[in-house]
Structure 1
Amino acid sequence: MTQLNLDGRRFAMVSSTASRVDPDSPTRFLYQEADGVIWGSYDGDTVAHGRFVGTRRHDEIELSYVHVTKDGGSPVAGRSTSRIEPLPDGRFRLVEEFQFDGDDTPQVSVCEELPA
């Protein structure tokens, strides 16, 4: 696997079982990483502003997240575990299994790293 460090890498959601992904305005994520600690922000599609924090061990990420939606609803929170997969061109794909707090239905999303 290409040297694994997510610091400064940007990703865009390409699919999700929780909702339709708007291809013209997908949710975009900015990852920061130091010493195995992961944090960052996200917005786009239905999300006005979101934050996440967690850890990375090898090619697995565990996060907690919270965001507010563009429709002004209550904050949405949850937890996720992502598997980092290398793409042939050196970018990364994140395959995430997540659950919203208060909902026992597991969901899956896929994000791909945006070109530099």
Structure 2
Amino acid sequence: MVSSTASRVDPEAPTRFRYHEAAGVVWGDYVGDTVAEGRFVGTREGDRLRVSFVHALVAGGAVVSGVAESRIEDAGAAGLRLVEDFEVDGRPQVSVCAEVLRT
């Protein structure tokens, strides 16, 4: 994750997501920064992902759940970016994730 309106992103230890896909179904997990452990599942149609998510926070262990919609953007040589719209406590939020290319 490179930015989020829901919380400050630690550039040294950002939340990292692992995505998987088969036949339009997507799933994965995430951990880091403010998230102790998280999971998501959903679908991809074209350049849109729609997922349900749940995660436990590092501070206090509170559980956060919701739904999100992301658009996939081609960032050229930098790989892909996901721009995600979601809600936390009824407030609209936006986060941006950038692909980490393996070398």
Please tell me the TM-score bracket, short chain as reference. Answer: over 0.9
TM alignment of 1:70-109, pairs within 5 A: 70-89=58-77, 91-100=79-88, 103-109=89-95
Shift of 1:90: 5.9
Partner of 2:77: helix, strand, or coil?
A: coil
1:114 aligns with 2:103: no
Aligned length: 102
Q: Report which of the two has the higher share of strand.
A: 2
Q: Distance in 2 between matches of 1:90 and 1:73?
A: 34
TM-score, with structure 2 as normaliser? 0.95
Equivalent residue letter for 1:57: E
Q: Which runs of 5+ in 2 are unaligned?
A: none
Q: Aligned Cα RMSD in Å?
A: 1.0
Equivalent residue letter for 1:111: C
TM-score, with structure 1 as normaliser? 0.85
4+ residue runs of structure 1 moved beyond 2 angstroms?
Answer: none
Shift of 1:104: 1.5
Q: Which runs of 5+ in 1 are unaligned?
A: 1-12
Q: CA 1:25–1:90 in 2, change beyond 3 Å: closer, same or farther?
A: closer
Equivalent residue letter for 2:61: G
